[in-house]
């Protein structure tokens, strides 16, 4: 039975992996929160890997606050860069397959067509740059790794766009949402299942992959669909803007191409609207 460590286990994706794990009885999971294992603390991390044996490590621990990262650059790079280097070194030393999550924000959004794994990176913000640093460390250190770049993650857990829209609509607060950025909302439950399927299939097709739901929309389009599916659109105080000011610059177009993932792992890509409906059906 393969033994899998999941870091950052109480975060959004970690929580979704806990749910997905029930569908994989042949896999043995160890879930650790950031409080139990702070990945930026090198000595603690090294010690932890010495005392425990794993076949896989899924690293979901990350600094994910895109806005705050602009003024907290040192910590963003400490967690998304240097701490990832520590994990990569421990995985290499202990012959563990590392599975790491990265982001569409490593791209600058100027391509205007779905991004391939081989496209040039050029992050526009600190968060994207810190995640790219982590990618580079893994590629330099490890030979057995999967990096899954994903986009616009949401779920029933944590703080995310979906939950914010629902909260604001319930409180009848105005929602002014940007049309400036186009991407693909991705259900974190789908990503969790996809990663565990890769493990279950004993794949050795290591490397960089893009994984998201299929289709594309703007943040305004995502908000509109959330409210439509919840039958709240008619009464919502929703407006669009093409000038929404933020501290962090964001790519105008960051849709990811799933073709490589589909080719190697033969897992269907679910349309983002359908996946949103699946979440509502399951958790309403």
Residue positions annotated with a catalytic role: 127
Of 178, 191, 152, 155, give the one whose Cα is nearest residue 270. 191
* DSSP H or E run through 97: strand 97-103
Tell me the two tokens of residue 52: 């425990």
* DSSP H or E run through 19: helix 12-21
Residue 58 to residue 219: CA distance in whole angstroms? 28
Please list the residues that pair with 187 across neighbouring strands: 154
Helix ranges (DSSP H) in 160-235: 161-170, 188-200, 219-229
Q: Residue 169 gets which letter from DSSP?
A: H
Q: Positive or negative, the Cα torsion across 169, 9, 115, 190?
A: negative
Angle subtended at Cα 138 by Cα 161 and Cα 247, rounded to the nearest 5 degrees: 35
Whole-number Cα distances in Å, 217 to 66, 110, 193, 221: 20, 16, 23, 6
Of 138, 144, 135, 149, give the one whose Cα is nearest residue 101. 149
Residue 113 to residue 51: CA distance in whole angstroms? 46
């Amino acid at each position: 039975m393969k033994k899998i460590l999941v870091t950052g286990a109480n975060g959004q994706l970690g929580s979704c992996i806990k749910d997905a794990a029930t569908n994989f009885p042949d896999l043995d999971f160890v879930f650790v929160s950031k409080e139990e294992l702070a990945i930026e603390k090198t000595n603690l991390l090294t010690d932890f890997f010495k005392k425990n044996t794993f076949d896989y490590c899924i690293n979901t621990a990350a600094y994910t606050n895109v806005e705050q990262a602009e003024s907290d650059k040192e910590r963003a790079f400490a967690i998304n860069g240097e701490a990832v280097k520590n994990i990569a070194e421990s995985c290499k030393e202990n012959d563990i397959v590392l599975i790491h999550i990265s982001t569409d924000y490593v791209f600058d959004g100027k391509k205007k067509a779905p991004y391939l794994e081989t496209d040039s990176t050029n992050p526009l913000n600190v968060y994207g740059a810190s995640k790219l640093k982590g990618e580079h460390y893994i590629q330099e250190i490890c030979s057995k790794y999967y990096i899954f770049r994903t986009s616009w993650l949401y779920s029933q857990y944590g703080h995310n766009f979906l939950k914010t829209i629902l909260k604001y609509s319930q409180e009848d607060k105005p929602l002014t949402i940007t049309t400036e950025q186009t991407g693909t909302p991705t259900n974190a439950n789908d990503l969790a299942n996809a990663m565990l399927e890769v493990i279950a299939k004993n794949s050795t097709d290591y490397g960089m992959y893009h994984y998201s739901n299929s289709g594309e929309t703007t943040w305004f389009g995502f908000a509109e669909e959330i409210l439509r599916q919840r039958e709240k659109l008619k009464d919502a105080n929703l407006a669009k803007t093409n000038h929404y000011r933020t501290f962090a610059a964001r790519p105008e177009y960051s849709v990811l191409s799933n073709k490589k993932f589909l080719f190697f792992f033969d897992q269907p890509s679910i349309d983002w609207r359908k996946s949103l409906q699946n979440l509502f059906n399951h958790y309403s």
